[in-house]
Every structure is written in structure tokens, then in C-alpha cells.
Amino acid sequence: MRIIVTDSYEEMSKVAARIVAGQLYLKPNSVLGLATGSTPEGMYANLVKVHQSVGLDFSEVISFNLDEYIGLDKENEQSYYYFMHKHLFDHVNIKPENIHIPNGNPENLEEECKKYDKLIEAKGGIDLQVLGIGQNAHIGFNEPDIKFEATTHKVKLDEETIKANSRFFENEEDVPKYAISMGIKTIMLAKKIILLASGKNKAEAIYKAVYGSVRPDAPASILQLHQDVVVIVDKDAASLLPEKDKKVFVK
């Protein structure tokens, strides 16, 4: 596990974008696992800039999103389908048929989950998975005490997660209570993972992910067992890490 500490959210976003762009330059037909939420917004903005300025090519890229709320239509501004198109897909040359986002309104939820994992496998697996982290150390929507062997599945969101996500909705009551999410097993099958975090409210979660015991009540701790993880955090999110981990500052 490599830890990169930056001075700011803006620098964190640039570093993350450089890693994703590098992946696409080395392998134009990369399979990307993508995350939503406020943390990766800056990374997506930087990728759009690179695409528009020097032609970073997304034409062969295949993407799989981590999760989607259950019960929201695609056109809903709080759906992750809407988020991804607003922040990335509508601004780069990715082919619509190569975009995969869990269906939050499937006829058969169990079959939808199985189909999603089978499709990832059929495309050769995820080359680079982007993750954010919740204040309770969840990744994707895998809440504390989730089974590590879980593949894509239905998740009941914790009250802490619902409260955190309520900032995107008019009222906390409007936040969906369930989501469909890649499971820990699906995430861990990715060849490379980058974990992003910004702000002091993520410091404890980052400490648990990097130094805590590997256990289900801190889902991100499982990343310690992955062979290729890069943790990219600003100095606030890194504030609880030992001093030896704070020396890799990117200016």
C-alpha cells in the first residue's frame, strides 16, 4: 500500500487524475471501476480537462460504477447515473455501450446483481478501481459488518451514511434507504485500486483503512490485503497517520 499525502483537495484530485490518465495511456481499453460522491468530483474535472486539452482518449474504455441508489430513476439529479454523466461521461468520448451502472430499478434485484458481476468478469475484470471512503470506513456502499465475501448485492444504508448523504437532498427523509453495490469481493478482484479521501472528517476512517485491524466493522481495512493500493489523501485526511506516512507530500 502506497500513501500519497497532498496539501489540498485540489492537489489530491490532480494526482488521482494523473494515475487514471496514465492507466489509459498505457492501456487504452482499460476497464475502470468508478466512484461517485463529492470526493472524486475534482478528479473527474481534471480528467475532462486532460481530454479536452491533449485528447486523453476514452473511446475504448469500459466503465463499471460501484453503486446506485435503489428506487431513483436515472433522470433523478441524485442518481449516480445522472452524476456520472454530469461530471464525466457527457464531456469525454466514451461510448455509451461501454458505460455500466447498476440498475436501481430492476425487475429482479438478485438477477441484476449476478448479471453485473458476470459482465465485469466477461470484460476481463477491473483494471483500476477508484474508491472513496465513508466516515464509518465503508467503501462502495459496503457498510460496517458486511461480509467480505460479498459480491454485488443489495445494501441497507446505515443511519450515518444516510445523514452524510442528506446534504445532497432537500430533506434527510428523501435519501434512499437501500442501494445496490459492488461487494468487497468484487472490489478486491480489481487489479489496482486508488482510495481517495479529503478532510478531517475522514481522518479516522483512513487510519482504520491503513492501520486498523482487518475486520468487517471497518470495511476499508480489507484493502490492506490487496497487492496494489494507492491511498491519496489531503493533509487533513492524513492527520491521524504516523509522521512517517506524511512525508510524501505532492506540491
Residues marked active site are found at 67, 136, 138, 143
DSSP-derived secondary structure for 161-195: HHHHHGGGSSSGGGS-SEEEE--HHHHHTSSEEEE
- Taking the C-alpha atoms of 14, 15, 19 and 22 in order, what is their torsion angle to the nearest 10 degrees? 60
* Distance in angstroms (rounded) separating the CA atoms of residues 163 and 166: 5
Torsions phi, psi for 87 (to 5 deg): -95, -20
DSSP-derived secondary structure for 204-234: HHHHHHHHS---TTSGGGGGGGSSSEEEEEE
- Taking the C-alpha atoms of 173, 175, 179 and 182 in order, what is their torsion angle to the nearest 10 degrees? -140
Neighbours of 250 (CB within 10 A): 15
| Secondary structure letter of residue 248 according to DSSP | -
Picking from 67, 109, 70, 71, the residue whose alpha carbon sits closest to that of residue 84 is 67
* Cell numbers linked to 82: 445522472
